[in-house]
Chain A
């Protein structure tokens, strides 16, 4: 019996007998009486009989704790853990706010039954304790080489994913098979699924519209190809040419990632719209009639290219840098021309990078909500369609669920295809051996092609951001160009009051809430993500593939669906957390965790396992090894996970729109409201402030975490600021 196990048994008792079992009534301040008097034990003795059985597994856990070590101890621990968790879950789900939750129980007992509220700290602590006791028991049985740290980590991550991913997602997907009244109706699913507005192919034969599924797929493929091509051009210029302004490229690559949604779409309207800057010039100087071509597929395509090319660039730059020149030199020694070398050696070696970049562009395009909303015109995509199925005049949640299933299928299909294409070929070129070569210069035509695509595009990106910047400082973009600070004052006014400063601007509340939630979510995301990555790469256990799939799932689900599913799942006991900041944090953590996992896996697979083994051989436990050896080597992945989750928490819209409350209003929902009201100036001004804040945050994260120092010459790919090479 280790001290750790004993500690958890004690904590289990504390949670049951000393801490309040139920959540606080939010309208009253918690006091001492509600602490002890509200414990599970006290409630149980006062009449909540369903809490009393939890006492028995707690007593069971005492046996191995008090008696001298012997063989049966692990069995007692396992039994106690399973029974405890089972009892808590069972009573939590069968007794709700309004009595029995199952009709069967109601008719059986002939009444509504007892009622209870959502679980509080006590219940949470006791449940965690049971979970860990179970994991320790399994370790004592010899699971995972008897390493209690590993079993506990696996148990914790599995439990968290079950509660915060599987539970809400199944709740909403179940509604795909229900009619509006909530009854089981599989036929309804079939009719909704086969709808012509989803799968219609009329646009091929006539000028009718095609189904929304085809639209989405087509747009995703276009954006995937486009971002990969542009990203490759940028990456080649940045690594293989003597281009002068490489630093600038780097900065530009980060900008679109930290731009709040809507902003790029708005800027495009202000340039290409019928009354846009460029359209006016073309009309006045060349007589080219103004048109509305920007609304629809072209507009969304351009906006998404702008937004997602940097991601492709960041993925590809790592890959291009990582290609060892040795192979290319070999090819040249064998007298291949530089063009032949590029096509037969360099390009094939980039395959994993290209596949990753394409996949990311495709998935991001599928999940994008802001740009289609602003620029969509009559071109409909799944993400907006889902949103309006929930909030629009139809109010049809089942339809939203059906559409989500289709979107989910596309995303998972793309992951699967990528896996199949890359196959089991080896692309490793970063090895322990020294690389003496210098990267070959690009063949002429490739260099020219790269310059001709990348430089105009870079100028275009700059133009878009100039427009955004101007928009924040003029009265009304497109109509009235009087310079003004009015927008900033409305949003961020600070007044000097008697007792210090008073933040009277209308945006301060949402701004503080956003920063707070993002700052809490980022470290949690990084911690859980990297722990999962460590488990996936360094440990072997059964069910590993399913475990990996679970971590990916929340990334593939569109934000709107996540938002609605969180309300459905977490607004009622036993886990009642909507309306709190906690639910926002959890939502972000589990939406962005896959990035932490992926960047962790990518970095960990570069680090030789022998380092861990050396540490273990020298007698360190795996927790110590993790802290002293693995973590310092993981710095690039930590930076990536922190930055990504912080930025995403500040820019996500669709997932949080249902979860915000008065206290926890998010910046993006505020901006959406401004856009809806037509106050583009204010929306853009707020966005520029957010961009600046995120830039500072990224810098701060890089300074605090620091760089990884490897004792070798620069051969490994330098860590990219936002490592989105992340995804498989």
Chain B
């Protein structure tokens, strides 16, 4: 009741002094609030917020942004953090935030329910970030275009180098997209650095465009703007579910993956709520929501039912991705500048 009274008082005050209330906007929050930065698709973010509010009565203020934007914001706000929890989005920025000490250590009682890869993420980040879903890197192709141009079905990374796909492969620029950086790190880990860069140089001849956003190639494939595109497989699956003439491929040489992560912001104003959310988000019930919101990543809680549309991790040859090494800012800078100077500016 007290809570309600507070709210009423606050609204009355806000009404009487609109200008003043605007200044201190964001006032009138109930006790037990949570400020969340969400790094996945809007539907999923909303579903999570709605379910958590229903389950706990904690009021959530959610802002959706890409994970790069969230990292930039968390870093800029480091002196006076605004958010409590950062949920979702590819693992690299989470790891980097952990490395720079922008996030908080936490051991959840739910840890033993998680898949090994989620635990590894948590251990490598020194308890600062935990895996909540994972998605394998792969590629897809537009079946109509492939048929029209007589391109045989590509099955391996090596198939993308075939002359039939000249100017028909699309992938993001690793400087701007975490997806493309995952590709860079994956290729280097599968083939070794020297051979890997040879591969990327050969691939460069077939690439028609380095897009800015990581999921853009999946859309371009669906729209028929490119025959093949490299992206996370769940992003391509979303297009397939939307009835686009696209097929998903898990490369035969094996592939890397991302671990969508969750971190508590250091200096969170609502630490208790953040921990509650953290524990809740690791339960099977919370992780089910992804598939319902048309996001087909593989959840990290062992007992979460895996959506039937999701690419089965068991069918995919996953490499032993070294997140600690390739997530560190030093290695990242080195690989990116090498890619910039040796691959990106090559003539076609």
A residues adjacent to B (C-beta < 8 A): 23-24, 26-31, 96-98, 121, 180, 197, 200, 202, 206-209, 269, 273-275, 292, 295, 373, 376-378, 384, 388, 390-395, 397, 476, 478-480, 506, 520, 564, 567-568, 571-573, 576-582, 585, 657-658, 660-665, 669, 673-674, 676-678
Contacts and interface: CB of A to CB of B under 8 A. Distances in A.
A30 B208 contact: no
B80 A24 contact: no
Contact of A676 (B6, B93, B96, B213): B213
B9 A581 contact: no
A579 B82 contact: yes
Interface in B10-30: 10, 13, 20, 22-29
Contacts of A208: 345-347
Contact of B62 (A209, A388, A662): A662
Interface of A is mostly: loop
B76 A273 contact: no
B345 A476 contact: no
Contacts of A567: 73, 76-77
Contact of A564 (B25, B29, B76, B213): B76
Nearest to B218: A678
Contact of B336 (A393, A585, A658): A393
A238 to B, nearest CB: 38
Interface of B is mostly: mixed
Interface string B317-348: 00000000000010011001000100011111
B25 A394 contact: no
Contacts of A661: 26, 61, 63, 82
B344 to A, nearest CB: 8
A121 B23 contact: yes
Contacts of B197: none
A478 B209 CA distance: 20
7 contacts: A121-B20, A206-B347, A269-B223, A292-B209, A388-B176, A572-B80, A658-B73
Given A97-B80, A391-B68, A658-B69, A663 B213 contact: no
B35 A378 contact: no
B174 interface: yes
Nearest to A200: B345
Contacts of A292: 167, 208-209, 225
Contacts of B6: 29
Contacts of A391: 66, 68-69, 71-72, 176
Given A292-B209, A572-B80, A678-B218, A394 B336 contact: yes
B252 interface: no
B175 interface: yes
Contact of B212 (A376, A476, A581): A376
B274 to A, nearest CB: 13
B1 interface: no
Interface size class of B (residues with CB under 8 A): 35 or more
Tell which of B20, B73, B243 has the most Cβ of chain A within 10 Å: B73
Contact of A579 (B9, B26, B68, B226): B26
Tell which of B6, B42, B96, B212 has the most Cβ of chain A within 10 Å: B212
A660 B36 CA distance: 13
Contacts of B41: 677
Contacts of A200: 345
B46 A568 contact: no
A665 B61 CA distance: 11
Contacts of A580: 22-26
A30 B24 contact: yes
B85 interface: no
Contacts of A388: 68, 173, 175-176, 212
A275 to B, nearest CB: 4
Given A209-B345, A676-B215, A275 B223 contact: yes
A665 B347 contact: no
A266 to B, nearest CB: 11
B24 A568 contact: no
Interface in B57-87: 61-66, 68-69, 71-73, 75-77, 79-80, 82
A571 B22 CA distance: 17
B26 A207 contact: no
Contacts of A209: 344-345
Contact of A576 (B80, B270, B348): B80
A479 B142 CA distance: 13
A328 B40 CA distance: 64
B222 interface: yes
Nearest to A29: B10
Contacts of A202: 345
Nearest to A372: B212
A295 to B, nearest CB: 6
A29 to B, nearest CB: 4
Interface of B: 6-7, 9-10, 13, 20, 22-29, 31, 33, 35-36, 41-42, 46, 61-66, 68-69, 71-73, 75-77, 79-80, 82, 92-93, 96, 167, 173-178, 180-181, 208-210, 212-213, 215, 218-219, 222-226, 238-239, 242-244, 269-270, 329, 332-333, 336, 340, 344-348
Given A29-B28, A98-B79, A662-B62, 13 more contacts: A26-B24, A29-B6, A29-B13, A207-B348, A274-B224, A292-B208, A292-B225, A393-B177, A395-B96, A573-B80, A580-B24, A678-B215, A678-B222
B265 to A, nearest CB: 13
Question: Which 5 A/B pairs are nearest by Cβ-Cβ distance?
Answer: A662-B61, A275-B224, A391-B68, A29-B10, A388-B176
B215 A30 contact: no
B79 to A, nearest CB: 5
Contacts of A520: 22
A585 B65 CA distance: 21
A26 B210 contact: no
Contacts of B26: 26, 579-580, 661, 663
A578 B329 CA distance: 28
A576 B219 CA distance: 40
Given A391-B68, A676-B66, A678-B219, A274 B178 contact: no
A392 B179 CA distance: 11
B223 A26 contact: no
Nearest to A580: B25
Nearest to A670: B42
Contacts of B10: 29-30
A564 B242 CA distance: 36
A578 B77 CA distance: 9
Contacts of B73: 567, 658
Given A27-B31, A393-B176, A582 B22 contact: yes
A577 B27 CA distance: 12
B256 to A, nearest CB: 15
A377 B167 CA distance: 13
A568 B74 CA distance: 11
B25 A479 contact: no
Contact of B42 (A206, A377, A673): A673
A180 B330 CA distance: 12
Contacts of B332: 393-394
Nearest to B12: A29
Contacts of A295: 208-209
Given A30-B27, A273-B223, A478-B223, A395 B348 contact: no
Contacts of B333: 394
B42 to A, nearest CB: 6
